[in-house]
Structure 1
Amino acid sequence: MNDFHWTKLFNPEFYITMEVGGIPIGIYMVLFIVFAETGLFAGFFLPGDSLLFLSGIYSRELVETFFMIPSDLSNVTILALLIASAATLGNIFGYWFGAKSGQFLYNKEDSFFFKKKYLYESQAFFEKHGGKAIIFARFLPIVRTFVPIIAGIVHMEKGKFMFYNVLSSLLWSFTLVFAGHYLYGFFNEEFGIDLKKHIETIILILIAVTSFPLIMKAIKSRKKNTN
């Protein structure tokens, strides 16, 4: 840890390959971060989509912390299910917190971990898309942190919330984990390109792709306000 720099906190590979006393704890860090993104308001600086994509690349190393499974498909499937479970629990905590502390959040002052404007933006997003907002939000940074909280604040019917919660968690996890895993294999076998050597480029591309909807929304809002 002598070469540690605070910028590593933004690099998902740092968490995936983390060790303590020579013992790998990457899988625990991945599951905690996925939970924290919606359960603990940490969606502002912790990696989300890029973390899942890279977890797919490192699926064997991560799953071997728990199991020694020779099947490639089993490894990536188990990892996707574990991540989906953490994402589901994070949303449940966010819903519960919103139901219990809704008024407190709207009166809370801005801080590094909390920006009130994101709360209002997520509320508008939720009101526009209804229950489907929980699914859409999974693939949008920042928004996914607040949408389950909004669902709790408006006391969305629990059964309906859980349906969209589980479905969105599975879609998000399986899409990104499987994409990372099988694209890694494809590029390695077909072109001899080891994606592990291009992690920084992959992260930048994923950030650009996942941030594009938010940037477009900001541009549209600015144009609307100008007009």
Structure 2
Amino acid sequence: MDEINILWHQLTDSETIIRSGLLVITLIVFAENGLFFAFFLPGDYLLFLTGVFGGTGVLKEPLSGLLASIFLAAVVGSLVGYLSGRFFGKSLESRPDSLFFKKKHLDSTREFFDKYGFMALVISRFLPVVRTFTPILAGISRMPWYSYLLLNVVGGGLWVGILVTSGYYLGQHFPWIINYVHYIILFFLGITTFTVIKGYLKMRQ
């Protein structure tokens, strides 16, 4: 049990992930963007803090290297999610709930997808959980692959570009901010919690 708790902490602690290096960061981003069982992994604040750690020099890679690696991981991860939905969507929809899969996440994403159409692929990049399931739902609904690829690239570019770049320049100009990482995480978790609760209340209505 202790080993499971340690593993869970390592997978969800963004500072631990970032200090492990860019390869680990890109693997986490890849998984969180398209593997249905990885919806719990950090996303938004992982990108922002990666920028902060890059700007303060903890991560040695230049901004261009961070952006290119994380953008590629986000786009390829979402593409895997799309292909999973396209080829295995029916079995996923009939899958029973488990620790790493909740049918309600797929249902709430479907509602979000119906509301915003194709643009859901861009908007959902900034929404935890929905970000993971939107590519899968796009595959299930058999969205044309060329439309998906375009929106995947646009959404991934905006998500990675805004969060990593803003974090990088903030860390570069205010290096002391690295001492307040936990407050940044709490801020993003607050936004995440608000989003999830708001979506749940809408579904109840």
Could you state the TM-score of these two structures normalised by the residue count of structure 2?
0.89
Q: Of 31, 35, 39, which residue of structure 2 is paired with 1:40?
A: 35
Deviations 1:90-140 (A, max 9, x none): 011000000001110111011111111101111111111111000111000
1:42-65 superposed Cα distances (whole Å, 9 cap, x missing partner): 44321111110110012244354x
What corresponds to 2:147 in structure 1?
A: 160
The structural deviation recorded for 1:199 is 1.1
Q: Does the Cα contact within 8 Å between 2:85 and 2:136 map onto a contact in 1?
A: yes
Q: Which of the two has higher C-alpha Rg?
A: 1
| Residue of structure 1 in register with 2:11 after alignment | 9
Q: Which amino acid aligns with 1:95?
A: Y
Question: Does structure 1 residue 124 correspond to structure 2 residue 111?
Answer: yes
Pairwise CA distance, 1:8: 4.0
Does residue 106 of the first structure (1) align with residue 93 of the second (2)? yes
Counterpart Cα distance in 2 of 1:7 and 1:33: 14
CA distance in 1, matches of 2:195, 2:138: 21
Cα distance in 2 between the residues matched to 1:31 and 1:9: 13
Kindly provide the amino acid, as one letter, of the partner of residue 219 in structure 1: L
RMSD: 1.7
1:1-227 pair list within 5 angstroms? 5=6, 6-18=8-20, 26-59=21-54, 60-64=57-61, 75-188=62-175, 194-222=176-204, 224=205
Q: CA contact under 8 A between 2:32 and 2:40: conserved in structure 1?
A: no
1:184 Cα deviation from its structure 2 partner: 2.2
CA change 1:63–1:168 in 2 (3 A) is farther
- Counterpart Cα distance in 2 of 1:51 and 1:29: 11
CA shift for structure 1 position 81: 2.0
Amino acid at match of 1:108: R
After TM superposition, the structure 1 stretch with the greater mean CA deviation from structure 2, 136-145 or 54-63, is 54-63
Say if 1:37 and 1:46, in contact at 8 Å, map to a contact too.
yes
Shift, 1:180, TM fit: 1.0
Contact 1:37 1:145 in 2 (8 A): yes
In the aligned structure 1, how far is the partner of 2:122 from the partner of 2:161?
Answer: 13
Write the deviation string for residues 5-60 of structure 1: whole angstroms up to 9, x where unpaired. 44343210101112xxxxxxx10110000000123224432111111011001224
> Is the contact made by 1:99 and 1:155 (CA closer than 8 Å) also made in structure 2?
yes
Asked whether the 8 Å contact 2:47–2:164 carries over to 1, the reply is: yes
TM-score of the aligned structures, taking structure 1 as reference length: 0.81
Local SS of the residue matching 2:98:
coil
Number of residue pairs matched by the alignment: 198
Q: Is the helix fraction higher in 1 or 2?
A: 2
